[in-house]
Structure 1
Amino acid sequence: MSTTGTLLFLLLWALLLAGALSIVVSTLRTGISPMPTPARVRRELLALLPPDTTGTVLELGAGWGHLAFALADHCPQARVIAYELSWLPFQFMRLRQRLSPRANLELRPEDLFSASFQDATCVVCYLFPGAMARLAPRFEAELPEGARILSHTFALRGWTPTRTVRLGDLYRTPVYLYVVPPRAASR
């Protein structure tokens, strides 16, 4: 192998190692690793969201972007904002956005807990129970009446889903749909 080939090989390994390390650091920081939403779950989530949805759709913890791009395609009239804190998955989404842009998709390398929910018409998440518990009071306080919350696998404690769908997969994966009720009504 030539010197150039060896340097290229070492650079590639260094980039791969740095990317893997960034995922580990992000996982330790946030408590969850970036996980892609399986195609069956994506289809079910999208089936619960009308294609004529307008306003702002937030994907919290977008990971590699599989669901964010599907949301942008499914709801072309909506502004989709995808939050992801892990460096490598975020860079993957950025590259994908450059190669196949979605005009209605905005990528933010920010902590999802810093997101504003006040103007969101829908929030989509595949998070862990601790994050869902932390977000529930913010959803209640900030989301407008009628906003949808779609959650893959993890329920919102203290909230009653409008609809729960269980997939026919090995884990009987649940998908939850919540609709923010009028402020005077209880959840």
Structure 2
Amino acid sequence: MKKKKISLFISLQMLVYVGFAQQVFIISSPDKKVSVKCLISKEGTASYNVTYLNQSVLENSKLGLIREDQDFANGMQFVSASQDILTKDSYNILTAKKSHVDYLATKKIISLKTVSNKKLNIIFQISNDGVAFKYQFPEQSTDIKKITKELTTFHFKDSTKAWLQPKTEAQSG
């Protein structure tokens, strides 16, 4: 009987700890070179960072948004995370140098909810040469909802270099 009580006590403590611990999810590209780490803090905020060949590309950056009826950035609770899903696609582009593209990516859906049970999915898709994510409200409604604030950030390292295509003057031939 004493062993059962000790075992039950330890199990309850583990359950309490897991309930308040930070949730961490790592999603890797099919070739394992690109990785995204998504974190849900014990305070209920979501963030992510990106690495390429174990070198930081995007440092810890915020996720979330505020809708006119709900805050989807603070006080979020973890609901579930899908298994990694291998996504394949093949398509043709008429105006590109390479006309046929075979696309392969790893997808993961992280489901969160607010204190008032409003749900938000963050869907990550990591390919061998890129990272994408989107927000999805899985609940069905005919009501129009307005997003009042986008809180997503992209925290590039100070040493990051970028290149932009030069802009052509309009109607210049």
What's the TM-score, normalizing by structure 1?
0.27
The structure having more radius of gyration, on CA atoms, is 2
Higher strand share: 2
> Which structure is richer in relative contact order (CA contacts within 8 A, separation 6 or more)?
2
